[in-house]
Structure 1
């Protein structure tokens, strides 16, 4: 799962599950038909793929997450910083800020975060 990146349709599907979990797989099929115009087979194919990746589970026709939305995106963000900036948070922040000036409030919030997460 650590290296998994959603395709756009998978991301919408995952968001739907996270929003409604736990959800009966039959109800998920109905929601996907309504939201995405998917057929039953498409819903189950995508669900099976994401279950195999360890993101969701379908136990006794109840679909739920093995990884919560926030946790998934934290891992994705960490992987992005690792892959793009060699794991350097300062390099990421410099690129993210892009030469703009921080407001006093933003600077204070960053200082507070640094202090809270300092080892």
Structure 2
């Protein structure tokens, strides 16, 4: 299981890996020195921690992701909704929109997502009915 709890610095480090993968650990340490002002041991220690969390892997000095950035942040969002809103996405959206007005573009984008999901659900129901011989 992937541990999605990252501090701000760990998240920045993870983004560096996602932007440059696959990357040699020496090159990663060099980039972290330039962008985060880290010494090499710091980069290696944080890399080890993120590998232990199941996010990245380091095979013979080549660092790559075990989970994509999009999937990682999706899991993090899902965990937040579960913990803060008892798993209710509508409750999350209601709380979010009570504080921030959605733009017309955001509304269209959300409607598109909902329509795609409705289409998936209809196909899944039809597939299940076919399998059951209905």
CA separation of 1:34 and 1:91: change in aligned 2, threshold 3 A: same
> 1:101: Cα distance to partner?
6.1
Greater RCO, 1 or 2 (C-alpha within 8 Å, sep 6+): 1
CA displacement, residues 94-114 of structure 1 (integer Å, 9 cap, x when unaligned): 111107665665544433322
Pair 1:72-2:44 in alignment: no
Report the RMSD for the aligned CA atoms in angstroms.
Answer: 1.9
Structure 2 unaligned runs (5+)?
Answer: 122-134
What is the CA–CA distance in structure 1 between the aligned matches of 2:89 and 2:95, rounded to whole Å? 10
- Stretch of structure 1 that moved more, 86-95 or 2-11: 2-11
CA separation of 1:81 and 1:35: change in aligned 2, threshold 3 A: same
Structure 1 unaligned runs (5+)?
Answer: none
Pair 1:49-2:82 in alignment: no
TM-score by structure 2 length? 0.79
- Confirm or deny: 8 A CA contact 1:2 1:76 kept in the other structure: no
**Aligned to 1:115, what secondary structure does the other structure show?**
helix
> 1:6: Cα distance to partner?
0.8
**Aligned to 2:87, what secondary structure does the other structure show?**
coil
Aligned positions, number: 119
